[in-house]
Amino acid sequence: MKRSREKAASELFAALYPRLAGWCRRLVDDDETAHEIASEAFTRLWGRWTAVTEPRGFLYVTAANLVRDHWRKLERERGAVRRATVEAALRPPPQQTDPSVRLLVQALPERLRVPILLHYYADMPIRQVSALTGRKEGTVKADLHAARELLRAHLGRSLDHTP
């Protein structure tokens, strides 16, 4: 019994696989994907071998469903690529920060460093920096001013010493 089932399955595969894979190829326009879909359809058929009365119909319906899933996946991927492309085009290019500026910012006292990082590096408005730090907006503005002056002084000194 098992031997005859295996023989019937093997004969069915030899008779239908090339045609099924070719049909899938025309639908997905890719050899590798077409063979994966046809193989998956046969794998699913083997799992239900005793319950399937019309194997050819089962294979084509299963392959059609797998092709549809493939198309949906491609459309989701294309949508994600379109969204990422649009977001990248709208996002300003990252500014290259001189490592010495980064080091100078890190060297600032925390009272001045935190507002600089939040306002200039995280693009937060002064009102939001004020809310996050628990300081009044005027204090945040004064701290930003003091930090800029310190950075300007340090940068001016480092520029004076460059050859």
pTM over 0.85: no
Res. 159: pLDDT tops 70:
no
Share of the chain above pLDDT 70, in %: 89
Q: Which residues contact 34 (CB under 8 A, 6 or more apart)?
A: 21, 22, 24, 25, 27, 28
Tens digit of each residue's pLDDT (9 = 90 or more) over 58-101: 999 999 999 999 999 988 888 888 888 777 777 666 555 555 77
Distances (CA, A) of 72 to 63, 75, 78, 79, 129: 14, 5, 10, 10, 43
CB atoms within 10 A of CB 162: 5
As a whole number of angstroms, the distance between CA 139 and CA 143 comes to: 6
Q: How many CA atoms lie within 13 A of 105 on its CB side?
A: 16
**pLDDT band at residue 34 using 50, 70 and 90 as cut-offs:** very high
